[in-house]
Amino acid sequence: MALEHADVQRAAHLARLGLNDDEAAGYVDDLGRILEMVDMLQALDTEGVAPLAHPLDATQRLRADEVTESDQRDEFQRCAPAVENGLYLVPRVVE
């Protein structure tokens, strides 16, 4: 499955990764060769093989729905780039 410039731009947008056209062009060749290497998988017959998501086939453990964490908002917001009154600051979304 060949990869085109538009595919790279599409993935970059989905990943919210800013790439200008020149930068995207730089990735077309690299990503194309990675996908070519990955395409080797298509040669293998996997009919009827269940996908393996967890190496020990474990499933998510459930726990009681109880509050176990204390409020550490101030401490956790200390590493945030911009906060005010306990809120994260971002550019205005709704005018």
Partner 1 sequence: MHDKTLVELARALDAGEFSSRELTQHLLGRIDRLDGELNSFITVTFDQALAAADAADATRAKGNAGPLTGLPLALKDIFCTRGVKTSCGSKMLDSFVSPYDATVVEKLRAAGTVSLGKTNMDEFAMGSSNENSHYGPVHNPWDFTAVPGGSSGGSAAAVAAGLVPAAMGTDTGGSIRQPAAFCGITGLKPTYGRVSRYGIIAYASSLDQAGPMARTAEDCALLLGAIAGHDLRDSTSVARGVPGYSKELAAPLNGLKIGLPREYFGDGLDPAVEKATREAIAVFESLGASVREVSLPHTHYAIPAYYVIAPAEASSNLSRYDGVRFGHRCDNPADLIDLYKRSRAEGFGDEVKRRILIGTHTLSEGFFDAYYKKAQQVRRLIRQDFLDTFEEVDVLMGPASPTPAFDLGANKDPVSMYLQDIYTIAVNLAGIPGISVPAGFVGQRPVGLQILGSHFSEARLLNVAHQFQQATDWHRRRPAFAEENA
User: What residues make contact with partner 1 under the rule CB under 8 A?
Assistant: 1, 3, 7-8, 10-12, 14-19, 27, 30-31, 33-35, 37-42, 44, 46, 49-56, 58, 60-61, 63, 72, 75-76, 78-82, 88, 90-93
The residue written with tokens 């947008």 in the block is: 13
Smallest separation, CB 73 to partner 1 (Å): 11
85: which 2 tokens? 């009154």
CA distance 15 to 11: 6
**CB closer to partner 1, 61 vs 85:** 61
Residue 25: closest CA among 47, 40, 3: 3
Smallest separation, CB 85 to partner 1 (Å): 16
**CB closer to partner 1, 44 vs 67:** 44
Residue 23: closest CA among 34, 35, 33, 9: 9
